[in-house]
Amino acid sequence: MKGQKRLLYILAVIVVLAMVAAVIKRSVTPRELPPNPKPRTAIVVNSYHTKYAGGYTVEVVGYTGTDIESFILRKDGTATWMLIVPDARKGARTESKKYGKWTASEGKIVISIKGNTGTITEEFNYRNDRFRSTISPGRYLKISQ
């Protein structure tokens, strides 16, 4: 009986993650993205913006929660950060959404998001097949498929 409950819980988590992945995948198609509503400052776009643009979830080694943090990095250098949480109907909803910009160079992504208390900047360097955070060990970007 305990094993069946655990299996049902695991299946529910898989279903929620699959739904969130579908939402993220749908939201990163450039023609479906709404324009960034915040005023833009000049962003220098280079070939790495094209190479690294897309939707990413933030993975954290050892994290077992159900909330999902994600970034949408557009080719024009604008970025959207979202916190996606499960809802009562076994679906998912966007709890919070913030906007900013991102820059890129060979093996490096720097994302700056305007948060509630100011701009939050995080750098990710490509090591061991992943873009890994330079400020938080175990935190890395995973491309949404």
More confident residue, 5 or 121: 121
Long-range contacts made by residues 27-36, C-beta under 8 angstroms, separation at least 24? Answer: 27/55, 27/72, 28/54, 28/55, 28/72, 28/144, 30/74, 30/75, 33/72, 33/74, 36/74, 36/78, 36/80, 36/99
Q: How many domains does the chain have?
A: 1
CATH of the domain at 99: 2.40.128.360
Mean pLDDT across 64-70? 91
Q: Give the model confidence (pLDDT) of 23-46 as tens digits.
A: 555 544 444 555 555 545 556 778
Strand partners, 79: 73, 100
Mean pLDDT across 49-67? 93
pLDDT at 29: 43
Given pLDDT bands bounded at 50, 70 and 90, which one contains residue 106? very high
- What pTM was estimated for this model as a whole? 0.69
- Is pLDDT above 60 for 11? no
Domain of 92? 2-143
Q: How far apart are CA 21 and CA 5, in angstroms?
A: 24
Q: If residue 132 lies in a helix (H) or strand (E), which one and from where to where? A: strand 130-133
- Is pLDDT above 60 for 145? yes
DSSP secondary structure letters along 111-129: EEEEETTEEEEEEEEEETT
- Is pLDDT above 70 for 126? yes
